Amino acid sequence: MTKTVAELLREAAAALEQVPSSNAPVASLNAPERRNNAPAEVLRLFSPYPARGVQRKSTSPATMTKKCKKTTYTHAFICLAKRKDSDIPTPAAKRTLEMAGLGESKITFPDKYCGASDFSDHLELNFPQLKYCGGFQLLRSRGSTRSKVLEIIPCPPNGYTSEGLSSKELGVGAAVIYIRPLQKDIDMQDPPSLTLTPQTTGPLVECVYCAEIFSFSEIQGHNDCCEK
């Protein structure tokens, strides 16, 4: 049973009274020693209790949740159809890309610090046609906003990542990023969005990790990269 403060104080006083004593001269010589031992005896008795004003360090659930929570990355992308496209699409060309499922899309990556493989998988999840192009390049507008010419964003040794694209050194900012097929042009005559197959049908489902909407058959593939 836990002792009260009053009981502990009585024990401390009793312990001080039971310190052995002898003749007066010896007692006077040992008096400083007993005075030095008294605080130690009190501290021993009260050791289960923290000193006044000293708070025990603890990690609250809110702090743990904050540490575990991932930082997302959202940016606007447009997927080009030809591997040699080097100009910003005209309004008419943008409408054609939209009809083929390649138009501007604001994509949210669940983890800003994901690796190149997860970054690529998430892009292909939003633009499935990229899976058959042998890779891709990322481009941005060159110079002023009036420029119609695109320049390649240098690809790091390990591949593109959302962390790299968001860096201040690269300076992309909020500008649209263009995705260009690397080895093979995208077939605009038979876009996946117009070809309904058992693999792409079913009700729409909201991802429990990033709140994005996917078809019933695609949600499990998305979860594999979203929950990491």
Say what the pLDDT of residue 94 is.
Answer: 94
Tell whether 225 and 170 lie within a shared domain: no
pLDDT, tens only, 80-120: 999 999 999 999 999 999 999 999 999 999 999 999 999 99
Range of the domain at 206: 196-228
What is the rounded (10 degree) CA torsion for 143, 145, 149, 153?
60
3-state secondary structure of 180: strand
Q: What is the pLDDT of residues 27-48, one digit of tens each?
A: 444 555 555 565 666 566 556 5
Residues 39 and 83 in one domain: no
Residue 113 lies in a domain: yes
d(CA 217, CA 201): 7
Determine what percent of the chain is predicted with pLDDT higher than 70. Answer: 66
99 and 200 part of one domain:
no
Q: How would you classify residue 14: left for phi > 0, otherwise alpha for psi between -120 and 50, otherwise beta?
A: alpha
Residue 144 has pLDDT above 70, yes or no: no
> Is 119 found in the same domain as 86?
yes
What tens digit of pLDDT does each residue of 47-80 get? 655 555 555 555 555 555 455 567 899 999 999 9
Number of domains in the chain: 3
- 89: buried, middle or exposed (CB in 10 Å: 19+, 13-18, 0-12)? buried
Whether residue 129 lies inside any domain: the answer is: yes
